Amino acid sequence: MKPLTIAIDGPVGAGKSTISDVVAQRLGILHLDTGAMYRAVGLAALNEGVDPGDEAAVCRLCREDGARVDVRYQNGKQVTLLNGKDVSDEIRTLTAGGAASAVSRYQPVRKMLVARQQAMARQQPMLLDGRDIGTVVLPDATVKIYLTASAEARALRRRNQLLEKGTDTPLETILAEVNARDYQDTHRAVDPLRQAEDAILVDSSDLSFEETVEKILSLVEEKR
Ligand code: DC
Q: Is the pLDDT of residue 1 over 80?
A: no
| pLDDT digit string, tens, across residues 40-84 | 999 999 999 999 999 999 999 999 999 999 999 999 999 999 999
- Categorize the per-residue pLDDT at 186 as very low, low, confident or very high, splitting at 50, 70 and 90: very high
Please indicate whether residue 97, judged by its CB atom, sits closer than 6 Å to ligand 1.
Answer: yes
Per-residue burial over 36-53, b = 16 or more CB atoms within 10 Å of its CB, e = otherwise: bbbbbbbbbbbbeebebe
Ligand 1, atom 6: nearest CA belongs to which residue?
A: 35
Q: DSSP label at 141?
A: -
Please indicate whether residue 144, judged by its CB atom, sits closer than 6 Å to ligand 1.
Answer: no
- How high is the pLDDT of residue 200? 97
| pLDDT digit string, tens, across residues 138-150 | 999 999 999 999 9
Instruction: Tell which CATH architecture fits domain 1-15+125-224.
Output: 3-Layer(aba) Sandwich (3.40)
pLDDT (mean) for 97-117: 95
Please indicate whether residue 158, judged by its CB atom, sits closer than 6 Å to ligand 1.
Answer: no
Ligand 1 centre and the CA of 97: distance in Å? 8
Ligand 1 centre and the CA of 125: distance in Å? 22
Question: What whole-number distance in Å separates Cα of residue 81 and Cα of residue 93?
Answer: 16
Ligand 1 centre and the CA of 31: distance in Å? 15
Q: Taking the domain 30-123, which CATH number applies?
A: 3.40.50.300
Specify the length of the chain in residues.
224
Ligand 1 centre and the CA of 168: distance in Å? 23
- How high is the pLDDT of residue 5? 97
Please indicate whether residue 110, judged by its CB atom, sits closer than 6 Å to ligand 1.
Answer: no
The percentage of residues in the chain with a pLDDT greater than 70, rounded to a whole number, is: 100
- How high is the pLDDT of residue 171? 96
Ligand 1 centre and the CA of 93: distance in Å? 13
Please indicate whether residue 128, judged by its CB atom, sits closer than 6 Å to ligand 1.
Answer: no
Boundaries of CATH 3.40.50.300 in the chain? 1-15+125-224, 30-123
- Categorize the per-residue pLDDT at 133 as very low, low, confident or very high, splitting at 50, 70 and 90: very high
Between vectors from CA 206 to CA 202 and to CA 209, what angle results, nearest 5°?
A: 75
Please indicate whether residue 34, judged by its CB atom, sits closer than 6 Å to ligand 1.
Answer: yes
Question: What whole-number distance in Å separates Cα of residue 211 and Cα of residue 84?
Answer: 38
Q: Is the pLDDT of residue 185 over 90?
A: no
Q: Tell me the pLDDT of the chain averaged across its residues.
A: 95
